[in-house]
Structure 1
Amino acid sequence: MRWLGIDGGGTKTAFSIYDESLRQVDRIVLPTCHYAQAGLPGMRAVLAEGTERAIATGHLGPRFGIGFSICGFGEDAEADRAAKDAARDIAQGRPYVLVNDVEAAWAAGLDMRDGIALIAGTGSIALGVRAGRTVRCGGWDFEIGDEGSGGWMGREVLRAFTRQADGRDARGPLYDLVRRELALESDFDIIGRARTLLADRTQTAALSRLASEAACADDSSARAIFERAAAEEADMVGAIVRQLFRDLTDSPAAVPVAYIGGTFNAGDLILNPLADALPSCCRLVAPVHEPDLGAVLILRDRLNKVR
C-alpha cells in the first residue's frame, strides 16, 4: 500500500506521497488549511485540491491510505465536524486517519516511541506519550497562547522595537531591521502596521526571522527573545514531565524531547537555551522523520493492529 501524508500547519499544508517502504516520492505544498485563517470551506478546499493533485501525479496508484494531520483539530467542535466530514469525503472509502498535528509530530519525531514532542512553528504545543497515556500542554492559539512560537516571537520583535525606539532598551540591529522591513517613515508608524500584522498569524510569525538576524548581529534584545522563547517551551515540557514522567525526574536525560517546527531553524540560538532550560531528566533529540509522515505512521499502526 502507498500513502498520502497531509501536514496541515498554520503556515502551509504539505501533501507528501510515500511508497510501500515509506520513502517520499513526491510533495505538494499549498497554503494553510487552518480553519481560523482559511475558513471552514477553505479548509475543505485546500485538503481536496491537494489530494486531487497528489492522485494526479500517478504515484499513489489505485490503493493508498491517507493520514490527515490538521493544526487545531480537537479544539473547536464546529471545525472538528467540518474536518471529519471533509476527511471522510476526500478519502472516498480508502483507509484514513485524522489527528491533531501535535499527535502526528510525536509519531514522526519519536518514531511512535514514548517521550515528548515539542512543536514551535507558527504556533506552539507539546505532547507527551508514555505507555499509551498522553498529556498535552500549550496550543491555546495565537490570541492568548502559543508561547515560544514564531507568532509569539513576531509579537516580541514588535515589542522590542518599541522599547528600543523610546530608549527603554539600548538601540541595536533589531531597531534598524524592523524599520527597513516594515518601511517605517516614523517609529510611530509601527502602531498602524501592527494592527494589520497582528490580524494575520502568518505575517506575524514571519517577523521572527528578524529576531534571528538581529541576534546573529549580537542584538541583546533579540537574544533575550530566544531565551524567553526557550523558557516558555521548556515550561510546557516541564508540565508534561510532572504529569507523565514524575518517577524519572532524578534520571538524567531519560526522556527524549523531539523538537519540530520552523522556530528551530534558528539552530543554536534557540536550541542551546532550550537545552539549558529543560528539566534534567530530558534530552533534546532531532526528529526521526519529517512531520508529513506522522499521520501515516499512526494509520499504518492502526491498520496493522486490526489485521
Structure 2
Amino acid sequence: MKKTENYFVIGIDGGGTKTVGALANLEGEILREIYSSSTNPNKIGFELAISRLKNLISKISKNKKIKIAYLGLAGGLERDEEKREKIKKELQKFFNFPIVIDGDQRIAFRAGTDERDGVVVIAGTGSIAMGWKEKKEAISGGWDWLFGDQGSAFWVGKEVLEEIGKALDGRRKSFRLKDFVLKRFKIKQEKDLYNKFYSQNFITQVASISKIVDELARRGDFFSKKILIDAGKQVSEMAIAVIKKLKLENETFPVVLVGGMFESQIFKKKVEKEIKRISKKSKIYLIEEKTSDWSSKVSV
C-alpha cells in the first residue's frame, strides 16, 4: 500500500479581487497560506492569470509532495469547459501532480455544508447563484462585470457612479451619498473621477464604493439603503431562478451565502427574505471563514 502520510493537497480560491491558496495535510489542517491578487482571466487576461496561478502554486508546493491541487476560479468557468481545460493544460506543463480546475461556486458551497444538494449564492465583487440536485446542476448570474454581476459590489458602485455623473451634469438633484463618495476618494474636480475609476484596477475601485454605501445606509440615508435593497433583490432573483430550475421550492435544502456584500445587514436581510418567500423549508447559512479553509476542504 502506498504511504500517503507525507502527501499534501493544495486548494486555491481565485476571485475577482483576490486569490488565496492553501497547503493542507490529508486531514484538512492548513499548514501554509499565501495571498495573491485577482486570477480571473476575464479581468486580467489569460496569460497573466496563468502566470499568477503558476507562481502561487510554486510557492505553496515548495519542498512538498502534492497529491492534488484543486483550483476554484472566478470568470465564468462553470459555463466554459473549454476554458477550464485550457487553464489546466497550461498549468500541467509546470507541475507533475494532478490539477483540477472548477468554478469557485463548489468551493463556497462546501464551506457551508456537507450535503450534496443545495444552493450557493455568491455576492462579492461579482455575483452568481448555483445549485445541485442529484445529478442536475443549475446556474443563474455569473456573467461578469460587462453585462452581469447584478447586485454585486461592482454593480452597486457602478450604480452610484452613474447617479453621481447625472448630478454633476445637472440631470438630477445632488444627494448626500455623492458628497460622501467624492470626499472619501478625495475627488475635488470632475476630471478626478476619470483618473480614479478609469484605471487598471477599476473593478476593485468601483466595487469598494459598496462599503461606503452600506456605511451611509446604516446612518439612515434613504438613497443608500434603496441601492442595497435593490442589490439584494437582484441577487435573490438569481437564487430563486436556481431553486425553481431544480424544483426545490417545497424541499428542505441548504442555501449557503458567501461574499463581502453579505456584510451589509440591509442587503443580507433582503436576500434571505426573498429566498424564504419562495422556499420556506430552506436552511440559510452565512459563511464567514477564510476562503483557504474552503478550498482545502474540497481538495481533501
TM-score, scaled relative to structure 2: 0.85
TM-superposed CA distance for 1:263, in Å, is 1.5
Q: In the aligned structure 2, how far is the partner of 1:33 from the partner of 1:128?
A: 24
Change (3 A) 1:91 1:192: same
Residue 21 (structure 1) aligned with residue 13 (structure 2): no
Q: Deviations over 1:14-48 (max 9, x none)?
A: 11122222122221001111112332221111111
Question: Structure 1, residues 39-63: CA drift from partner, whole Å, max 9, x if none?
Answer: 222111111111111123x5xx324
Letter in 2 for 1:157: V
Distance in 1 of aligned mates of 2:294 and 2:155: 25
After superposition, the Cα gap between the structure-2 partners of 1:122 and 1:178, relative to the gap in structure 1 and judged at 3 Å, is: same
Map 1:196-211 → 2, pairs under 5 A = 196=198, 200-211=202-213
Contact in 2 for aligned 1:104/1:293 (Cα 8 Å) = no
Q: How far off is 1:167 after superposition?
A: 8.0
State yes or no: 1:6 paired with 2:18: no
Q: Within 2, Cα distance between the matches of 1:203 and 1:110?
A: 32
Q: How many angstroms apart in 1 are the aligned matches of 2:61 and 2:73?
A: 20
2:87 is aligned, of 68, 79, 83, to 83
Are 1:286 and 2:286 an aligned pair?
Answer: yes
Match of 1:119 among 119, 122, 126: 122
| Conserved? CA contact 1:137–1:239, under 8 Å | yes
Give the Å deviation of 1:215. 1.1
Report the alpha carbon displacement of residue 82 of structure 1 after superposing the two structures with TM.
3.4
**Quick one: distance in 2 between partners of 1:159 and 1:197?**
17
How far 1:292 sits from its partner (Å)? 3.3
The secondary structure found in structure 1 opposite 2:211 is helix
Distance 1:81 1:181 in 2: 43
Specify every segment of 5 or more residues in structure 1 that has no aligned partner in the other structure, as ranges: 301-307
How many residues are treated as equivalent by the alignment?
Answer: 289
Deviations 1:149-194 (A, max 9, x none): 111111122134346665846732x2222111333324x4476357
AA at the equivalent of 2:287 = P
Partner amino acid, structure 2, of 1:67: Y
Q: State whether structure 2 residue 263 is matched by structure 1 residue 265.
A: yes
Partners of 1:100 and 1:156 in 2: CA distance: 27
Equivalent position amino acid for 1:245 in 2: K
Q: Deviations over 1:207-232 (max 9, x none)?
A: 21111221122111111111011101
Structure 2 counterpart of 1:274: 271
Runs of 5+ unmatched residues, structure 2? 1-6
What pairs with 1:123-162 in structure 2 (closer than 5 Å)? 123-162=126-165
The yes-or-no answer on 1:108 pairing with 2:111 is yes
Give the secondary structure class of the aligned counterpart of 2:234. helix
Quote the residue 2:4 is aligned against. Answer: none
- Superposition deviation, residue 288 in structure 1: 8.4
Check conservation: 2:11, 2:70, Cα contact below 8 A: yes
Per the alignment, do residues 148 and 117 of structure 1 end up closer, same or farther by CA in structure 2, a change over 3 Å counting? same
Distance 2:23 2:117 in 1: 26
Whole-angstrom distance in 2 between the partners of 1:164 and 1:223? 19
Q: CA RMSD in A?
A: 2.7
Which has the larger displacement, 74-83 or 150-159? 74-83
* CA distance in 2 between partners of 1:111 and 1:26 (Å): 24
Give the conservation status (yes or no) of the 8 Å contact 1:99–1:295: no
Assess if the C-alpha contact under 8 Å between 1:87 and 1:98 holds in 2.
no
SS at 1:45 equivalent: helix
Match of 2:175 among 167, 171, 175: 171
3-state SS, counterpart of residue 93 of structure 2: helix
Tell me the percent identity. 24
Determine if contact 1:34/1:43 at 8 Å carries over to the other structure. yes
**Distance in 1, Cα, partners of 2:115 & 2:53:** 25
User: 3-state SS of the aligned residue for 1:143?
Assistant: helix
Shift of 1:70: 1.2
Counterpart of 1:48? Answer: 54
What does residue 3 of structure 2 align with?
none
